[in-house]
Amino acid sequence: MKNYRFLLQYEGTRYQGWQRQESSENTIQGKLEMLLSRMCGHKVEVQGSGRTDAGVHALGQVANAHMCTEKTPQEIMEYMNQYLPEDIGVLSVKEVSERFHSRLNARGKTYCYRIINSPVPQVFQRRYAHTVVEKLDVEAMRQGAGFLVGKHDFAAFTSAKKGKKSTVRTVEEISIERQNDMILLTFSGDGFLYHMVRILTGTLLEVGLGRRKPEEIIEILNSGSRAAAGELVPAKGLTLVEVRY
């Protein structure tokens, strides 16, 4: 058995998310495992750096799998790109150390949330961005985001039920840029809780719309209460950009 590391791209539109499900064939992990098991002639488990939800895209998801195969990494990549659906692409395959684990070894991730901030439709971005017609105050959103950067308990910003697992994470950077009618929110951190980027974005949107003051972010963090934060914005605006090791 050798351990292989995959760099993957996918458009999440058609999928029930990353994670394999009994009830659905339409998951990224499921598609990869089915194909690699066929290629190797033994059952292959593919480990992702983390789950992406239904509808979320990836420009640079990382995964690994232990496999027995005569193929070179280049040949594995060609095989995968030949047989995978066209909305999943393999950008690289490398043999890595036995111990490499795409989730446990991940040191950080970057996500991007895209917002079309205009009443004018952007036909070519519609699958990858959420539309907000009212003009957003980017400067206020940046002020709000400033309170989120650092090591905090993000319990208020997750849909996960309260449990024993820590909800403390470090957000290293949030950049908010306007490019014409598009607003890009880029989040980098050591890890993100379930739905965290989408709830952070939903909360910053309320700041951008003037419905909350930037300083209220502090209270929401301190409350630890999901009800205090903003809405979960749609999955299609979210893209996993990069995983760092």
Taking CB under 8 A as the binding criterion, the range among 5-13, 97-105, 139-147, 186-194 that sits at the site for its own copies is 5-13
**Closest by CA position to 196, among listed 172, 223, 178, 169:** 169
CB nearer its own copies, residue 14 or residue 211: 14
Residue 26 found at the interface with its own copies (CB under 8 A): no
CB nearer its own copies, residue 226 or residue 236: 236
Catalytic residue among 53, 153, 181, 190: 53
Residue 180 found at the interface with its own copies (CB under 8 A): no
Can you say how many angstroms the Cα of residue 102 is from the centroid of all Cα atoms in its chain? 14
Tell me if residue 53 is catalytic. Answer: yes
Site for its own copies in 46-65 (CB under 8 A): 57, 59
CB atoms within 10 A of CB 54: 17
**Closest by CA position to 54, among listed 157, 162, 204, 195:** 195
Exposed / middle / buried, residue 45 (Cβ in 10 Å: 0-12, 13-18, 19+): middle
Q: Shortest Cβ distance from residue 87 to its own copies (Å)?
A: 6
Select from 22, 23, 41, 86 the one that contacts its own copies (CB under 8 A): 86
Distances (CA, A) of 183 to 50, 123, 202, 216, 235: 25, 16, 13, 22, 16
Whole-angstrom Cα Rg for the chain: 19
Site for its own copies in 95-154 (CB under 8 A): 119-124, 126, 128
Residues that bind its own copies (CB under 8 A): 9-11, 57, 59, 78, 81, 86-92, 119-124, 126, 128
The residues that are catalytic are 53
